[in-house]
Amino acid sequence: MEKRFIHKSGREVWIALSASLASDTATRTPHLIFQMQDITDRKRAEEQLHHKAFYDVLTGLPNRARFMSDLQMAVERHVLIKDSPNKLFAALFLDLDRFKIINDSLGHLAGDQMLTETARRLEMCVRPGDVVARLGGDEFTILLDELNDINDAILIAERIQNDLKVPFILGGREVFISASIGIALSTAGHNRAAYLRRDADIAM
């Protein structure tokens, strides 16, 4: 088995524990041989691989693969509890308007700074438990869970629009940008995450 310990210095340590049965050849008395191995480096490498596989390098947000997995889980949960009227969820698809102009006029570093700042603003606009992800380029998606009705999703979309009105400071310059947002609600009866994401894209 693998167990996590906290060293007295406060750092995290992972240990692999194993036990083997051995008998004394003379007395036939059974003995247990315990082994402990420090696997902290291996665990850190695994965590780094997992993070690269499911998180966006630039913004630190979940990437497309992670978002689609979370969205599919929400779809499957909704199918199981579809008789409950208070268990709605929605997918939001967001695209920054005229983002290409930022890259072309101010450079890709400024564009990357805007994407990172946009990610932080989106995280501040949603509730704990909601998922904000970056699909790539200037496309973001949001999974809103535990909604009462479509108005809850609309309020969050409006909050995002208002928050993005605050100018970005890129290279000492004030830059203004807006976003287009599409909403797809779980009441449409989707049984696959890809269909819900597609409809949110079409709505945008």
Give me the domain span that covers residue 71: 55-203
Number of domains into which the chain is organized: 2
**Which of 56, 70, 138, 199 is labelled catalytic?**
138
Q: What average pLDDT does the segment 16-41 reach?
A: 85
What token pair was written down for 85? 């009227």
**Are 12 and 79 within one domain?**
no
Alpha helices per DSSP H over the chain: 40-54, 64-80, 99-106, 108-125, 150-164, 193-203
**Are 157 and 192 within one domain?**
yes
Which pTM does this prediction carry?
Answer: 0.75
**Are 19 and 61 within one domain?**
no
**Are 183 and 91 within one domain?**
yes
**Are 43 and 60 within one domain?**
no
Comparing 45 with 89, the larger pLDDT belongs to 89
**Are 75 and 29 within one domain?**
no
The residues near 182 (Cβ < 8 Å, ≥ 6 apart) are 92, 93, 94, 199, 200, 201, 202, 203, 204
How far apart are alpha carbons 46 and 54 in whole angstroms?
A: 12
Q: What average pLDDT does the segment 14-43 reach?
A: 85
Any catalytic annotation for residue 199?
A: no
The yes-or-no verdict on residue 8 having pLDDT over 80 is: yes
Q: What average pLDDT does the segment 169-189 reach?
A: 89
**Are 151 and 107 within one domain?**
yes
Distances in Å between the Cα of 59 and the Cα atoms of 35, 127, 157 are: 41, 19, 20
**Are 35 and 76 within one domain?**
no
**Are 186 and 87 within one domain?**
yes
Lowest mean pLDDT, pick from 111-115, 167-171, 176-180, 184-188: 184-188
pLDDT at position 27 is: 73
